[in-house]
Amino acid sequence: MSCGLAIATMLLLTNPEVALAAAQPPAAADAPVSVAGEPLFADIVARSGALKAVVDDWAEVGAADQPGFLTGDVFAGFKARAAELADIDMQGHLILRERGTDGDLKCILRGISEDIPKKVAAVETATTAPDRAVALSELSYLLNDNVEVITAPPQPES
């Protein structure tokens, strides 16, 4: 018995996960490739995650309900970073469109790019604390979706 075969047999006998992994069919040569590791898309994930953490913190402590918050430097800085993220999402959409790949992600990124400014404006124009809480929640979900659509395993086109 060769050494490689002996080692493989030993692994199969000692770790059932190895046998399970070995039993999986190989990936198709034309299987979609994740873009999550590409710098632009990794940047989108990082920025979205960071902005979501800010929004969640504001919601938790009621910061957006404090007098002057929506006209202050903190919110202005957030709006600028959110606008940058929307622009980068659009860049991601354009890159995928140019490649002619991943129709769903391409469309989702465009939609998120268009929705970010609307959700930020909804926070800014909410006239009551409950309305602002809903607007913050919707913005948080959108930012979370921005992370999840990029990091989710790609699906074959149907």
Q: What is the pLDDT of residue 4?
A: 54
Residue 152 is encoded by which pair of tokens? 């989710």
Q: What is the pLDDT of residue 104?
A: 87
One pLDDT digit (tens) per residue for the chain, 158 residues: 555 555 555 555 555 554 444 455 554 455 557 899 999 999 999 999 999 999 999 999 999 999 999 999 999 999 999 999 999 999 999 999 998 875 789 999 999 999 999 999 999 999 999 999 999 999 999 999 999 999 987 666 55
Q: What is the pLDDT of residue 18?
A: 47
Alpha-helical segments (H) within the chain: 3-14, 16-23, 39-61, 73-99, 103-125, 129-151
Q: What is the pLDDT of residue 100?
A: 84
pTM for this entry = 0.77
Query: Which of these, 132, 150, 24, 137, lies nearest to 93 by C-alpha position?
Result: 150
